[in-house]
Amino acid sequence: MLGYIFRRLLLLVPVFLAVSVVIFSIIHLIPGDPIDNLLKIGSGPEQREIITARYGLDKPLVVQYWIWLSGVLQGDLGTAIVARRPVADLIAQALPHSLTLGLCALAFSTTFGIVLGVIAALNRDKFADQAIMGGVLLGSTMPGFWLGLLLILVFSVWLGMFPVSGARTWSALVLPVVTVGLGGTALVARVTRVAMIEAAQRDFVMLLHAKGMRPLRINLRHVLRHALIPVVTILSLRIGWILGGAVTVEVVFARPGLGTLLIKSLNQHDYPVVQACLLILAMAVMLGTLIGDVIQAAMDPRIRAALG
């Protein structure tokens, strides 16, 4: 098992390098110049050249990439061009808000998704199954920003139950969590339903029925355990996608998270901040995939046997 984890970590190295190249290249292909936000009205070309040289933007892109990557590998994310602060400090302020939102949304989608999936599987082709699958399908097709605005209108403006924006109280977290987690709830519910139906048709389930074990106990204790293997895989992928999907939601709810920092920095063409934000989101996806593979190997005896 330790050898498997080590091999999976080694596979992340070329992926990380490829992602860093893509992020750096895309950011520098975007039209605009961060120096424009630093120049005062009436500044001449000489002042532009001085500021450009100060931040190393006059060097070739290959050299700039190497300097940036070397700093990242040493834990130095650089200095924000516009904010003139260490990027690590900006990330440290924003990341806890995004992690709180992401983890709560993941817990929300996991809990409600598995419960709804189990209910739908136990009532296959009945009204409850059709109603749940129809509801989750509708929820999964709603764009996050539109759902967030709708929830603000109903629960904040009309009913006054939750704050419109901000992150000062825990009540301000409810609507963003529902907005981000609803799409994941639909996905987890569908995967749980299909996995439970497939697991219920295996031979060991027929044997348990033949032994006289109660159907509810069979489904919850044995069938559900086997059905959770693909669910864990989906949830591990959702770790990164939830952080990425929270970008627009954080902007809608004016939360001071990674998404708000990313959008603000994009508008200012602040290269170091944008690169750091995108790299963190990419690393979240990679680590989520790694965690999912390890958990799946730990849960499935067949995978452990294949690993030796």
- Count the neighbouring beta carbons within 10 Å of the beta carbon of residue 175: 25
Q: Sketch the domain layout of the chain as residue ranges.
A: 2-73, 91-307
Backbone angles phi, psi at 82, to 5 degrees: -85, -50
Residue 24, both tokens: 């750096």
What's the CA gap between 123 and 73, in Å, rounded? 52
The answer to which of 117-126, 157-166, 299-308 has the lowest mean pLDDT is: 299-308
Max CA pair span of the chain: 87
The pLDDT tens digits for 17-74 are 999 999 999 888 887 777 777 777 667 778 878 888 888 888 888 999 999 999 999 9
Q: State residue 204's pLDDT score.
A: 83
**C-beta atoms surrounding 122 within 10 Å:** 19
In this structure, whether the domain defined by 91-307 belongs to CATH 1.10.3720.10 is answered with yes
Which pTM was predicted?
Answer: 0.83
